[in-house]
Amino acid sequence: MSIHEECGVFGVISPDLCDIASIVYYGLYALQHRGQESCGVVVNNDGVFTSHKDLGLVSEVFNKDVLAKLGQGRLAVGHVRYGTMGGNSRNNCQPIEVNHQKGCMALAHNGNLANAGELRSNLELSGAIFHTTSDTETIAYVVTKERLRSNSMEEALSASMKILDGAYSLVLMTSQKLICARDPYGFRPLCYGRTADGSYVVSSESCALSAVGAEFVRDVEPGEIIVFTREGIKSIKEHCHHKRKRMCIFEFIYFARPDSTIDCVSVHGARLRAGELLANYHPAKSDIVIGVPDSGLDAALGFSRASGIPYGIGLVKNKYIGRTFISPGQDTRLDQVRIKLSAVEESVKGKSVVLVDDSIVRGTTSQRIVRLLKEVGAKEIHMRISAPPFLHPCYYGTDIDSEEDLIACQHSVEEIAKIIGVDSLGYLPLDELGTLIGSHEYCSACFDNDYPTLIPSDICKYKFENKLSQKQK
């Protein structure tokens, strides 16, 4: 599997001055699966912002001394990032901090704007100078511009939401407020919880709430803005129900952690259902069902339960790989598989194996996994995929950005089975996607071309770098 989610966001507001950076640290640690390229924390002590951001995993970027230097505070925001828009550079680390005419703010964002290019061009033409290549800076510009003519940051954010189009779940901190917002489609998850001492915690996923001892309160509604202050909570629903809800179905299949719930749907439950459906649609006469860690495991369990074929551990993941081995790029991908995964000979030797994974993108990773299993003696491999074939790019915060790279665009299912070296291959049927999450509406554009927004004219994820380097030439 080689798709990367863009980011995870986290924010805390505490009634008292406390070691708030540590809370964010543990929250980001629980969101690490959403982005491993860079991370950052901004602490707010009575309007004085102190930050630390760098490339690397949360455990590499932060240590006791760094957290101590961030000091105490009542508010803080944090971010983990995989750069789908704007490359992997220190400049693009978040949260972004901005000093504007009416104060200061720190902003962390998950998702991609569909109209980022257009907004950025207009801002540049009106004199804005960008310091990063990430579309989060575009959001910051739009919000601070609106702040000039608004009475409050929430009013500015509400006005900005009429301008921004696409996927954004964000946390924003001013000197006194923690504010979160989810785009009107609700592409990316966002929720909040409360701790026993009265702190409010906002997070991309509910798994990070439990990690800091917060009790889940609820999901942020698509289009909703929530303002947390010392005085309490205010919900602004001006933008709710203006768009058809389109939460990303792939969050349930791959991106989110199985112990999270999104919009009241358990991610683990959705994956189990995908496995059960696969067993019904694509049965196999095999000795064992195994999953590709991590996101294939739950669906493998579902397949096993529905088929009666025993579930086993056939692949083990090395969980302690640092950033060195998680750099984007086709050339490094083949070696990464062997470094990340090992096959369990005892489970698969001489057996017919059902291998469950969440997707096939380019096919190279699947090919390599199949080879690992064959090397330790798997007799037959029947691959089952808990998603339909990827046929279209995503513009909302993943790095599926080119149809040329998608193996299903170039080959039939039988051809793909041959290329990756399996005895049979079966995908989750497109019309069963909804079964995973009940009655919710969802985005499935990367599978069916049904885009909820206008498609951006320039789809290259490094378009701003390209433009910059062209200008420099």
Catalytic residues: 7
Single out the segment in contact with ligand SF4 by CB under 6 A; choices: 42-50, 226-234, 332-340, 391-399.
Answer: 391-399
Nearest to residue 407, comparing CAs of 398, 418, 395, 396?
Answer: 418
Is the Cβ–Cβ distance between 81 and 92 less than 8 Å?
Answer: yes
At position 292, the amino acid (one-letter code) is V
Please choose, out of 15-23, 302-310, 339-347, 442-450, the segment that lies near ligand SF4 by the rule CB under 6 A. Answer: 442-450
Cβ 222 to ligand SF4 shortest distance, Å: 13
- Minimum distance, C-beta of residue 430 to ligand SF4, in the bound complex (Å): 12
Interaction between residue 396 and ligand SF4 (CB under 6 A): yes
The minimum distance between CB 110 and ligand SF4, in angstroms, equals: 11
Considering the complex, state which of residue 49 and residue 396 has its C-beta at the smaller distance from ligand SF4: 396
Choice from 38, 94, 169, 444 touching ligand SF4 (CB under 6 A):
444
Residues 206-265, interacting with ligand SF4 (CB under 6 A): 248-250
187 binding ligand SF4? (CB under 6 A)? yes
Least distance CB 341 / ligand SF4 (angstroms) = 23
Task: Output 10 or 396, the one with its CB closest to ligand SF4.
Answer: 396
Region 326-385 residues binding ligand SF4, contact defined as CB under 6 A = none
Site size for ligand SF4 (CB under 6 A): 11
The least CB distance from residue 86 to ligand SF4, in Å, is 17
3-state helix/strand/coil string of the chain? CCCCECEEEEEEEEEEEECHHHHHHHHHHHCHHHCCCEEEEEEEECCEEEEEEEECCHHHHCCHHHHHHHCCEEEEEEEEECCCCCCCCHHHCCCEEEEECCEEEEEEEECCECCHHHHHHHHHHCCCCCCCCCHHHHHHHHHHHHHHCCCCHHHHHHHHCCCCCECCEEEEECCCCEEEEECCCCCCCCEEEECCCCCEEEECCCHHHHHCCCEEEEECCCCCEEEEECCEEEEECCCCCCCCCCEEHHHHHHHCCCCCEECCEEHHHHHHHHHHHHHHHCCCCCCEEEECCCCCHHHHHHHHHHHCCCECCCEEECCCCCHHHCCCCHHHHHHHHHHHEEECHHHHECCEEEEEECCCCCCHHHHHHHHHHHHCCECEEEEEECCCCCCCCCCCCECCCCHHHCHHHHCCHHHHHHHHCCCEEEECCHHHHHHHCCCCCEECHHHHCCCCCCCCCCCCCCHHHHHHHHHHC
Which of 213/429 has CB closer to ligand SF4? 429
In the set 366, 445, 453, 461, which binds ligand SF4 (CB under 6 A)?
Answer: 445
Per CB under 6 A, 443 contacts ligand SF4: yes
* Nearest distance, CB of residue 294 and ligand SF4, angstroms: 18
Q: Which amino acid is at 353?
A: V
Contact pattern for ligand SF4 over residues 123 through 162, marking x by CB under 6 A: ----------------------------------------
Pick one of 221, 446, 453, 463: the residue that binds ligand SF4 (CB under 6 A): 446
Give min distance, CB of 388 to ligand SF4, in A: 10
Judged by CB under 6 A, the stretch of 45-53, 117-125, 303-311, 439-447 that binds ligand SF4 is 439-447
Told to check if 422 binds ligand SF4 by CB under 6 A, we report: no
Give all strands of the β-sheet with 232-236 in edge-to-edge order.
96-100, 103-110, 169-173, 178-182, 225-229, 232-236
Near ligand SF4 in 267-326, by CB under 6 A: none
Q: Does residue number 178 form part of the binding site for ligand SF4 (CB under 6 A)?
A: no
Q: How far is the CB of 357 from ligand SF4 (least distance, A)?
A: 16
The piece of 92-100, 236-244, 277-285, 443-451 that touches ligand SF4 (CB under 6 A) is: 443-451
Which one of the spans 77-85, 208-216, 315-323, 438-446 is the region binding ligand SF4 (CB under 6 A)?
438-446
- 112 contacts ligand SF4 (rule: CB under 6 A): no
Query: Whole-angstrom Cα distance, residue 332 to residue 335?
Result: 6
Residues that bind ligand SF4 (CB under 6 A): 187, 248-250, 394, 396, 398, 443-446
